[in-house]
Amino acid sequence: MAIWVLHSYREMVCAQHTDRRCVQLALIVALQRFGALDVDQEKIMTENKLNGKVTEATWDMVKALQDVNIAMVDSAVETHERNMKYVQSMLLNGVEVFKSQVESSNGLMQEWITLVHKQQETFQELARASMEAYVGSLYRPLSYYKQTVEALEVASK
């Protein structure tokens, strides 16, 4: 009889090697059938229900932990994306400000160059006018002398 129970148990293990509960139930049924185990059917059902509830509670807890982990990863990804957008906007704004400063500096330099050229032209005109006035002041006495000599030559003829 014990050999038959072990043989049934071995067949059940081979057929259902992944379902541990089936193996346990088969062993219990076989032992009950031959009177080797006196277990109340209600007690077995109660234990099965309790085991089912424990298993279900365990799966619920695992699923809840998975949901929490997924939420944490999603939050981390969203935070990373926000930080990347912030850094990109900072860099783009910095580049735009830099471009604006370069354009302003270029405009200011062009204006300054134009003003320097105007200043040089004005200075050259002023220098030419003052040189002409100086040369004119040197030649005035000579021009009076020349006019006097010419007037004397006309009068002497």
- Cα dihedral across residues 42, 45, 50, 51: positive or negative: positive
User: 8 is in which domain, residue-wise?
Assistant: 1-39
Shared domain check, 30 and 66: no
**Rg of the chain over all Cα atoms, to the nearest angstrom:** 56
Q: How many H helices and E strands in the chain?
A: 3, 0
Shared domain check, 119 and 50: yes
Shared domain check, 123 and 85: yes
Shared domain check, 123 and 73: yes
Q: What is the pLDDT of residues 70-124, one digit of tens each?
A: 999 999 999 999 999 999 999 999 999 999 999 999 999 999 999 999 999 999 9
Shared domain check, 33 and 53: no
Shared domain check, 28 and 81: no
Shared domain check, 84 and 20: no
Average pLDDT over residues 56-60: 84
Shared domain check, 88 and 63: yes
pLDDT at 7: 47
Shared domain check, 70 and 9: no
Shared domain check, 54 and 103: yes
Tally of domains in the chain: 2
Shared domain check, 46 and 35: no
Average pLDDT over residues 114-143: 90
Q: What is the pLDDT of residues 7-19, one digit of tens each?
A: 444 454 445 444 5
pTM value is 0.40
- For the chain, strand residue ranges (E) read none
Tell me the two tokens of residue 69: 């982990």
Shared domain check, 53 and 12: no
